Structures are given as structure tokens and as C-alpha cells.
Structure 1
């Protein structure tokens, strides 16, 4: 018995060393529902293990510039990918999706489209309109462009989320009557999405897609950092391949 225990103890460090190290991946908050099923499928097929972090693109790029060990970043627009590439030579960039914006509103708000949102803001009938913080979130920049086009950017009673997922949570919880957020997350919250796991978020929200022509394009761009592992490269290939594109389209993203 003692001999068996000694053999097990000797074998333990070998087992620990054999376990693959997780690949750190930073992802835009609009991928919070669509990405995990793709990652799980890729893990089963490849044996790689991934550690996902979700947040605003600007914050994640700043973390990478400050030395965070991300191997792959899935950003919500191209400008943040360009900023990262300017600060870290040797990165690889490619588009993987087109972000879509949506108006989301509680049923009680009376807001049914952009015209009624504009009227509610001008009449002072809306107390809180949720968007992601434009200072570091591409969806916040897009939302502000829509409000500018409606002529109500200076009058909108904004409440800012750290990222687009938090902005949506303000509306879903009733803390804001309406918001301009990512279409995939809005569809998930309303139970309208066909993406895996989307229906778990519940319903009760009105979702109206915003025409892409009303805001600068959200060319969602991935960045492979210098020395990215085969696991990171494999996940990037999976995301931009047929299965990844089909899953992103089903979730509500456009395709580049």
C-alpha cells in the first residue's frame, strides 16, 4: 500500500506537467453568448484549453498594451485592433464579424422604434437611456452616432455601462427604459435569438435592429499576438471558418 502511494506521488508532478496550460483569450462583451459554445466545441476537437475574459474592446487593448498575456483578442471594431498593432509589432489582424446595433426597450416604456425614442427623449418622457461607454466601447461610439443622427445626442439622459453587456443589463433590470446595445445580446435577452444558450436569458424586451447605415461600421477584428500558440491560432481559424461564421450569423452578427 505504501509503495503504491509513493508511486502515485511520484507520478503526480508528471500529470500536472502534462495538463495543457489555458490559452488566455480576451473577447468583446457582445460575444458573451455566442463564443462559449464555439470554444467548447473547439476544445473537444483540439484538446486545447481556453481562459475567456469578456469586456470592452478599449479596456482589453489597454490591458494587452500593459502586458496582459492574451494570445488572442476578439475585438468589436478595427480601430482598437489598429491601436494594439501600433503598440505591439508583429500582431496579425483579420475581420471575423460585423457588429449590429439594436434598440432595446421595456414593454412599459412605450418606445417601439427610433422615431418613438426620439420623441420620448425630446418630450422628457424617458429618464434613462443605456449605452456602452463611448470612451472605450465601440458599441457606445455607434450608439452615440445614432443619437447624433436623430438630433438628440445632447438631450439623451444617458446611463453608461462599462461594456455593452452591462448596458443591456440596465434595461433588462428596469433601471433604464431603453438602450442602444449589441443586437446579438438583445436578441438573447428577448428570447428571439437562435444562438446556443440564448433562450436562457428570458424575455419581456422589445428589440428593433438599427440600420447599419446610421452608425460607423463595426468591423469586428481579431488580433493574434506575437508568438500565439497553436491553440490560439486554431480558435481564430475556427471562428473565421464555416462553423464559426454560421454560428455568428445565427447569433445576429453580420459577416465580413
Structure 2
């Protein structure tokens, strides 16, 4: 019996010795899908993705100042490109893992119509967006308002979240009657799960191509490459699609 227990103990130690982890910076809009992907990644590989969520612009500043991230999942394609050009990312590892969609959303049922005409009525106190300087979804929201000719009319009503997660909280709590958030934050079972929303037509803003890249600090960590390869797998793509993204 002791020999059997010793064998199991040795096997457990061997598995632990081979298990690794990777430090990952993740754009806030991708919080829910990445949490699910990380769980499946650990089940399938035994390795752990340690996740931090936030605004893409802030992550860029942190990485530029030596933050210990090894993989970066951005909310755009420009920031990973800049990191690569600045010799902070490993050349040849950058790829698009998701294409995000913008939605005008309210926590109230029936408040936002299917064509977004509520924007033209101005019948609300506050409309939330994320900071366009640090969050690509915020930049997309600004582009939509400009193309609809509503920027000046709604300027006084705008409230800005630091990132898309805070923007969602503004709307979910009713501090803003409506706001531009990531479709993934409100998408469930193939539709907007609660409240009301208008999925903004893609022609009103530039495609939100979200790129991932292995950072220089992760170039010697095999788990970094393993995670980025996993993001390209059919299982990961299925999870990503289930949150309303295109892949």
C-alpha cells in the first residue's frame, strides 16, 4: 500500500514539476471569454494562465515600463503592432484572435430601439462610453457619434469609464441610462440577454480587430506560446464566438 501511495505521490510531483504558468494582460472587453478559455486551457494542458484585465492603453504604458506580462490580448491591432515595433513583443507572434462588436445598450427593457433612434431623441441624462484615448471600444463609440452627426448634441451628456468594464457598470447600475459597450458583455445564448440594445452596424466604425502577441518577457516561457496556440484552437474559437465575437 505504501508503495502505491509513494507512486501516486511521485506522479503528482512530476505533474507539478511540468506544470507552468504565464502572466497575461487581457483587454477588459474580453474578460468573460478569457476566464472561460483559461479554465479550459488549464484542464487540457495542466498549465495556468494568470490573468489581469484592464484598458489597452494602460497596459501599453505598463508594458513599456517593464510590467512582467508575457502575453498581451489587446482590444485593437495597433497596440500590439506598436509593441512589436518597439522591440517589446516577439516578432511573428502577433495574430487576430477576435473581432469585436459595439452595442448601444440599456439595462431597461425596451429603452433602446432596434435602430438606435433613441440617440436622436436625446431623451436621457447620461450616455456612457469608455475613454477613447485608452480603450478602442471608446474610440469606436466616438466614431459612431461623429458619423451620425450627434457628437456636439450629446457632448454634455457623455460620461466616460476608464475601461469598458467600468462603462458597463455605469449602464448596468442606472447611473447612465444607456451606453456603448462591447457586445460580449451583454450577449447570451445568441442574443442580447437582458435590457435592450442596438448592435451598431459595422459600417459606422472601423473593425475592432483584437490582436494577441507574445511579449519579450515571455519569449523563453513555453507556456506563452502554448497559450497563444490554444487561442487558435477550435475549442477556444467556439468559446469566443459564443460571446458574440467573430473569429
The answer to whether TM tops 0.5 is yes
SS in 2 for 1:33: helix
Q: What corresponds to 1:77 in structure 2? A: 76
The correspondence for 1:242, drawn from 223, 230, 234, is 234
TM-score normalised per structure 1:
0.82
In the alignment, what sits opposite 1:26? 25
In structure 2, what is the equivalent of residue 143 of structure 1?
141
Structure 2 equivalent of residue 5 of structure 1: none
| Cα displacement string for residues 184-224 of structure 1 (whole angstroms, at most 9, x for unaligned residues) | 1022xxxx3469xx9xxxx6411221111110111100011
The separation in 1 between residues aligned to 2:76 and 2:180, in whole angstroms, is 17
Contact (CA 8 Å) 2:104, 2:112: kept in 1 or not?
A: no
Q: What's the CA shift string for 1:75-134, capped at 9, x where partnerless? A: 01111111211222552211111011111013278332454232222xxx2111111100
1:234 CA drift (Å) = 1.1
Count of aligned residue pairs for this structure pair? 228
- SS for the counterpart of 1:154 is helix
Which residue matches 1:173? 173
1:162 Cα deviation (Å)?
A: 1.0
- SS for the counterpart of 2:225 is helix
Tell me whether 1:103 sits opposite 2:104 in the alignment: yes
Q: Partners in 2 of 1:174 and 1:48 — Cα distance?
A: 40
Secondary structure of the corresponding residue to residue 175 of structure 1 = coil
SS at match of 1:134: coil
* Distance (Å, rounded) in 2 between the aligned partners of 1:109 and 1:25: 38
Structure 1 ranges of 4+ moved more than 6 A: none
Q: CA RMSD in A?
A: 2.3
Q: Does residue 1:126 correspond to 2:116, yes or no?
A: no
Unaligned residue ranges in structure 2 (runs of 5+): 1-12
- After superposition, the C-alpha distances for 1:49-74 in whole angstroms (9 at most, x for unaligned) are 22100111111111111101111000
Deviation at 1:20, TM superposition (A): 5.0
Cα distance in 2, alignment partners of residues 113 and 150 from structure 1: 16
CA contact (8 A) 1:109 1:178 kept: no
The CA deviation string for residues 168-197 of structure 1, in whole angstroms up to 9 with x for no partner, is 11110000000111001022xxxx3469xx
2:197 to 207, 216, 223: 207
C-alpha contact (below 8 Å) 2:116/2:198 kept by paired residues: no
26-35 vs 102-111, which moves further: 102-111
Matches within 5 A, 1:180-195: 180-187=180-187, 192-193=188-189
108-117 or 89-98: bigger deviation: 108-117
Distance of 1:74 and 1:225 partners within structure 2? 10
Shift in CA distance, 19/175, structure 1 to aligned 2, threshold 3 Å = farther
